[in-house]
Chain A
């Protein structure tokens, strides 16, 4: 008992660091006036948990707490990625926290707790642990979206997100309970054994259970038709919160979906991959097309993130570990691309809100415009950026699994999305400035954007640099 507990706690060191930091921040919240101390604590927490997660030996999978959580290459990869998302999200938040007078301690504590939840869900080996982690993340996200309490738009976004999010959580729980009823367990391996045993192999009830679980998780990654909350929530939230929500929780949701579909529900894979491919196709088409009509930058990036969720699901839809590896790669580069693009929205402040604000940015701030251009190219999927590497691997996975039509659709929608992103680039480079030059970016915001740009560049020029880590065990 005690030894197993120590092993389990050892596996959870990255999460424990984040939770401890969050608790300390809550205790001193009232005495914290500046942004420096909470930011420093969050950055230290993110870096140390990334280090502990990355330094752990993952040659073989170690389970803890009686098979509730696992430490393997998959969880390690996503834990480091999620810690990076926290790091960049926290760095981006500086100016916004100051301007909107967001309570400092609470804001950073919520970021840390949400990250801990994501880490728990990516290392879950049991449906209940998975649910617990995802729920911790979403509960913190609801508050983060509505943390600017004096703004009506923020309140509205939080309420919408909360109502739809709790509905999705209920759907997920319903699916989990049906799976428990069919297989007699919530543990992934036990579910897989029961499903391959044939007793609960087919039947409408299994279809319903798998569908409900997939729907609940699809909500977390904002895949069509479970995407309606994302544009409203991102628009109402402060820009750094939107950046964080579009990156970390989405990666965690993809990780959870990947493990559930490949490990637990492998016995029902035919049905599940069909569902995932439908979700992927719908997300890619709708996300790309609706983004065309957006004039608000956060909404545009929200629809872009919906389309990207679709691309990432292509890999999982292949239903193989090669496909899951492709999704891991996609999630990694997507996090940095989207954090970078949102980072520019944060950096430009009021001006970054609408597309018109980007007019003539290249003349006023050539370096900032170049960074934005890089992120836009990456989001489109142009070669020599990480976006191309990411799209290449998932579309390749789809083709190898025999879904050629869907791969063609994905490429065509890529062309449509090029129009979306290039519209911003054209405004930056080919129209005269209508507003005065933006003020100097805070150092931490610049650092976060530079880090994201570096990853996007390196991932594009040396596409294999990530390959040793992004492997589904």
Chain B
């Protein structure tokens, strides 16, 4: 455990310094607010909408399709690393796995998941 003590000291020091600065600024600093100073500060004009904006719900389909390929890649990387050791069997296994995933993709495509209706 003792080798982690340094990390703990680092975290405590970092948190302590940040907290000290915040407290000192807010207690010692002079405050002289004017309307200009209080105005929202983002690229110089008043924001008219939430900075992050709203996403259309249609993106959920894109997200689901992304997961399909994401999971595929998670399996493909380690498979590619030991591909030579697996040999023919590994190729067939990955073919079956990809085949099942492709069925899901074809289903989604077939049902218009890629059309932006």
Q: Which residues of A pack against B, CB within 8 Å? A: 1-2, 5, 23, 26-27, 29-30
Contacts of A27 in B (CB 8 A): 103, 106-107, 110
Tell me whether B27 is interfacial, beta carbon within 8 Å: no
Most buried by A among B89, B100, B107, B111: B107
- Cβ contacts A to B, 11 pairs, < 8 Å: A1-B89, A2-B89, A5-B89, A23-B100, A23-B103, A26-B103, A26-B104, A26-B107, A27-B103, A27-B106, A30-B111
Q: How far is the CA of A23 from the CA of B111 in the complex (A)?
A: 15
Q: Is the CB of A29 within 8 A of B89?
A: no
Q: Which residues on the A side are within 8 Å of B89 (C-beta)?
A: 1-2, 5
Complex CA–CA separation, A23 to B100 (angstroms): 8
A5: B residues at CB distance < 8 A: 89
Chain B residue at minimum C-beta to C-beta distance from A24: B103
Residue numbers in A under 8 Å from B100 (CB-CB): 23
Q: How far is the CB of B76 from chain A (nearest CB, A)?
A: 20
In this complex, the member of A1, A2, A26, A27 whose beta carbon has the largest number of chain B beta carbons within 10 angstroms is A26
How long is the Cα–Cα vector from A145 to B60 in the complex, in angstroms?
20
A318 to chain B, nearest CB (A): 41
CB-CB under 8 A from A2, the residues of chain B are 89
- What is the CA–CA distance of A26 and B100 in the complex, to the nearest angstrom? 11
Using a Cβ–Cβ cut-off of 8 Å, how many residues does chain B contribute to the interface with A? 8
Q: Mark B95-117, 1 if CB is under 8 A from A, else 0.
A: 00000100110110011000000
> Measured between alpha carbons, how far is A26 from B110 in the docked complex, in Å?
10
A29 touches B103 (CB 8 A): no
In this complex, what residue of A is CB-closest to B112? A30
Q: How far is A2 from B92 in the complex, measured between Cα atoms in Å?
A: 12
Q: Look across to chain B and name the residue whose beta carbon is closest to the beta carbon of A19.
A: B100
Q: Are B103 and A30 in contact (CB under 8 A)?
A: no
How distant is A15 from chain B, measured CB to nearest CB, in Å?
13
Across the two chains, which residue of chain B brings its CB closest to A30? B110
Residues 63-115 of B contacting A (Cβ, < 8 Å) = 89, 100, 103-104, 106-107, 110-111
Say whether, besides A1-B89, A2-B89, A23-B100, A29 and B111 are in contact (CB < 8 Å).
yes
List of B residues within 8 angstroms of A1 by Cβ: 89
Separation of A158 and B110 alpha carbons in the complex (Å): 25
Q: Which residues of chain B are within 8 angstroms of A29 by Cβ–Cβ distance?
A: 107, 110-111
Distance A5 CA – B104 CA, assembled complex (angstroms): 25
List of A residues within 8 angstroms of B106 by Cβ = 27
A27 to B104, CA, bound (A): 8
CB neighbours of B110 from chain A (8 A): 27, 29-30
Q: How far in angstroms is the closest Cβ of chain B from A158?
A: 16
Residues of B with C-beta under 8 A to A30: 110-111
| A30 to B109 CA separation, bound complex (whole angstroms) | 11
Q: Give, as a whole number of angstroms, the nearest-CB distance from B102 to chain A.
A: 10
- A30 to B103: give the CA distance in the assembly, Å: 13
Report Cα–Cα, A23/B105, bound state, in Å: 12
Nearest-Cβ distance from residue A1 to partner chain B, whole angstroms? 7
Interface string of B45-62 (1 = CB under 8 A from A): 000000000000000000
Residue of A nearest to B88 (CB): A2
Question: What residue of chain B has the Cβ atom nearest to residue A105's Cβ?
Answer: B107
Give every chain A residue within 8 A of B111 (Cβ-Cβ).
29-30
Interfacial chain A residues near B107, Cβ < 8 Å: 26-27, 29
Which 9 residue pairs of A and B lie closest in terms of their CB atoms, listed nearest first? A26-B107, A23-B103, A30-B110, A26-B103, A2-B89, A30-B111, A27-B103, A27-B106, A29-B107
A1 to B93, CA, bound (A): 13
Name the distance in Å between A462's Cβ and chain B's nearest Cβ.
44
Assembled-state Cα–Cα distance A114/B110 (Å): 23
- Complex interface: chain B residues within 8 A of A23 (CB): 100, 103
In the bound complex, what is the Cα–Cα distance between A29 and B111 (angstroms)? 9
The smallest C-beta distance from B41 to any residue of chain A, in angstroms, reads 41
- Tell me, in angstroms, the Cα distance from A29 to B103 when the chains sit together: 11
Closest-CB distance, B52 to chain A (whole angstroms): 26
Min CB–CB distance A25 → chain B (angstroms): 10
Q: How many angstroms from the CA of A182 to the CA of B104 in the assembled complex?
A: 39
5 further contact pairs, Cβ within 8 A, besides A27-B103, A27-B110: A1-B89, A2-B89, A27-B106, A29-B110, A29-B111
Q: How far is the CB of B8 from chain A (nearest CB, A)?
A: 25
Tell me, rounded to whole Å, the shortest Cβ–Cβ distance linking B85 to chain A: 10
The distance in angstroms between the C-alpha atoms of A5 and B100, with both chains bound, is 19
A29 to B110, CA, bound (A): 9
B99 to chain A minimum Cβ distance, whole angstroms, is 9
* A103: nearest chain-B partner, CB-CB: B111
CB closest chain-B residue, reference A26: B107
A26–B106 Cα gap in the complex (Å)? 9
Chain A min CB distance to B95 (Å): 14
Docked Cα-Cα span, A5 to B111, in Å, equals 35
A62 to B100 CA separation, bound complex (whole angstroms): 27
Q: Which residues of A contact B103 (CB under 8 A)?
A: 23, 26-27
Distance between Cα atoms of A30 and B113 in the complex (Å): 13
A337 to B107, CA, bound (A): 36
Give B104's nearest chain A residue, CB to CB: A26
A23 to B102 CA separation, bound complex (whole angstroms): 10
Chain A residue with the shortest CB-CB distance to B99: A23
Complex: chain A residue closest to B108, CB-CB: A26
